[in-house]
Amino acid sequence: MACPNAIETYRRILREVSEARIPGSTEAALRLAHALAEVLSYCGSDLPKLLPQLVSEALQARPGSQTVRSVLHLFLRRVLELSSSHGASGPRGEVVSRAIAEVSEYVEGVREAIAEIGSRRLEAGDTVMTYSYSTTVLRILERAAKRGVDFEVYVVESRPVAEGRLMASALGRLGLRSTLVVDSAVRYVMKRVSKVFVGAEAIAANGAVVGKVGTSVVALVAKEARVRFYVAAGLYKFSPETVFGDLVAIEELEDPELIVPRDRLGEVAPFLGRGIKTRTPLYDVTPPEYVDAVITERGLIAPQLVYYFAREFLGVHYQYVGLEKLAEEVGRLWS
Amino acid sequence: MELGGFKIPEEVVRIREGIRTMRIRGAGNIARNGALALAIAAERFTGDDLGAFLRYMELVADYVRSARPTAVSLPNAVSYVMSRLERSKPTSVEDARRAVVEASREFIEYSENAVKLIGELGARRIERGDVLMTHCHSSAAVSVIVTAFRQGKVERVYVKETRPAFQGIITARELAKEGIEVVLIPDSAVRYYMKRVDKVVVGADTVAANGAVVNKIGTSVVALVAKEARVRFYVASETYKFSPYTILGELVPIEVRDPTEVVDPSWLAENPNVRVFNPVFDVTPPEYVDAIITERGVIPPQLAALILIEQYGVRLLDAYVAHRSLELHVDSE
pLDDT of residue B37: 97
**A178, A187, A216, best to mutate vs chain B, most B CBs in 10 Å:** A187
Predicted confidence at residue A18, as pLDDT, reads 80
Q: Do residue B221 and residue A279 have CB atoms under 8 angstroms apart?
A: no
Closest CA to B91 of B148, B51, B149, B137: B51
Angle, vertex CA A47, rays to CA A43 and CA A49, nearest 5: 140
Least confident segment among A13-22, A53-62, A292-301, B231-240: A13-22
Which residues of chain A does B190 touch, with a Cβ-Cβ cutoff of 8 Å? 217
| pLDDT tops 80 at residue B188 | yes
Kindly give the pairing relationship between strand A127-131 and strand A152-156. parallel
Beta bridge partners of A153: A128
- The fold of the B118-311 domain, in CATH, is Rossmann fold (3.40.50)
Pairs of residues, one from chain A and one from chain B, whose beta carbons lie less than 8 Å apart: 170
Please judge whether A258 and B186 are an interchain contact, meaning their C-beta atoms are less than 8 angstroms apart: yes
Number of H helices, E strands in chain A: 12, 13
CA–CA distances in Å: residue A168 to residues A143, A153, B39, B218: 16, 9, 55, 21
Torsion of CA B315, B317, B322, B324, to 10 degrees: 160
- Residue A140's nearest CA partner among A158, A161, A167 is A167
Which of helix, strand or coil describes residue B206?
A: strand
Write the residue in A154, A216, A250 that is nearest to B191 by C-beta. Answer: A216
- Mean of the pLDDT values across residues A300-329? 78
Highest mean pLDDT of the ranges A9-23, A299-313, B126-140, B318-332: B126-140
pLDDT of residue B326: 43
Chain A segment 211-270 residues within 8 A of B by beta carbon are: 212-214, 216-217, 220-221, 224, 250, 256, 258-261, 264, 267-268
**b/e map A262-292, b = 16+ CB within 10 Å:** eeeeebbeebbeebbbbbbbbbbbbbbebbb
Strands B130-134 and B199-202: parallel
User: How far is the C-alpha of A174 from the C-alpha of B200, rounded, in Å?
Assistant: 42
- Angstrom CA distances, B293 to B30, B124, B134, B203, B303, stand at 21, 10, 14, 9, 12
**What ipTM was reported for this prediction?**
0.90
pLDDT in the model for residue B289:
98
Q: Do B275 and A179 touch (CB under 8 A)?
A: yes
Q: How many CB atoms lie within 10 A of CB A191?
A: 9
Q: Does B119 score more than 80 pLDDT?
A: yes
Per-residue confidence (pLDDT) for residue A69, from 0 to 100: 87
For residue B213, pLDDT over 90 is answered with yes
- Give percent above pLDDT 90 in chain B: 79
Question: What is the DSSP secondary structure assignment for residue B202, as one 8-state letter?
Answer: E
The Cβ of residue B327 has, within 10 Å, a number of other Cβ atoms equal to 11
What are the φ/ψ torsions at residue B31 (nearest 5 degrees)? -65, -45
Q: Give the pLDDT of residue A328.
A: 86
Q: What is the mean pLDDT of residues A239-267?
A: 86
DSSP B90: -
pLDDT reading at A240 higher than 90: no
Report whether pLDDT(B27) > 80.
yes
Mean pLDDT throughout B192-203? 98
Q: What is the pLDDT of residue B319?
A: 55
Which residues are CB-contacts of B295 (< 8 A; sequence separation ≥ 6)? B110, B113, B114, B115, B117, B118, B121, B238, B239
Identify the residue with better confidence: B217 or B25. B217
The 3 state secondary structure assigned to A228-292 is: EEEEECCHHHECHHHHHCCCCCCCEECCHHHCCCHHHHHHHHHHECCCEEECEECEEEECHHHCC
pLDDT digits 0-9 by tens, A77-131 = 888 888 887 665 567 888 889 999 999 999 999 999 999 999 999 999 999 999 9
CB B184 within 8 A of CB B172: yes
- Each domain of chain B, given as residue ranges in start order, spans 2-113+313-332, 118-311
Interchain contact, B263 vs A180, CB within 8 Å: yes
Strands, E assignment, chain B: 2-3, 6-7, 130-134, 154-160, 182-185, 199-202, 206-207, 213-216, 232-236, 274-276, 281-284, 291-294, 297-299
Q: What is the DSSP letter of A209?
A: E
Mean pLDDT of chain A: 90
| Domain made up of B2-113+313-332: CATH architecture | Up-down Bundle (1.20)
Question: Degrees (nearest 5) of the Cα angle A106, A109, A115?
Answer: 145
Query: Any idea which of A79-88, A208-217, A297-306, A325-334 has the lowest mean pLDDT?
Result: A79-88
The predicted pLDDT at position B114 comes to: 95
Cβ atoms B77, B34 nearer than 8 A = yes
Which one is predicted more confidently, B216 or A249? B216
In chain A, the domains with their CATH numbers are 3-113+317-333 (1.20.120.420), 117-256+262-314 (3.40.50.10470)
**Nearest CA-CA distance, residue B244 and chain A, Å:** 23
Chain B nearest-CA distance from A163, in A, is 12
Strands A152-156 and A178-181: parallel
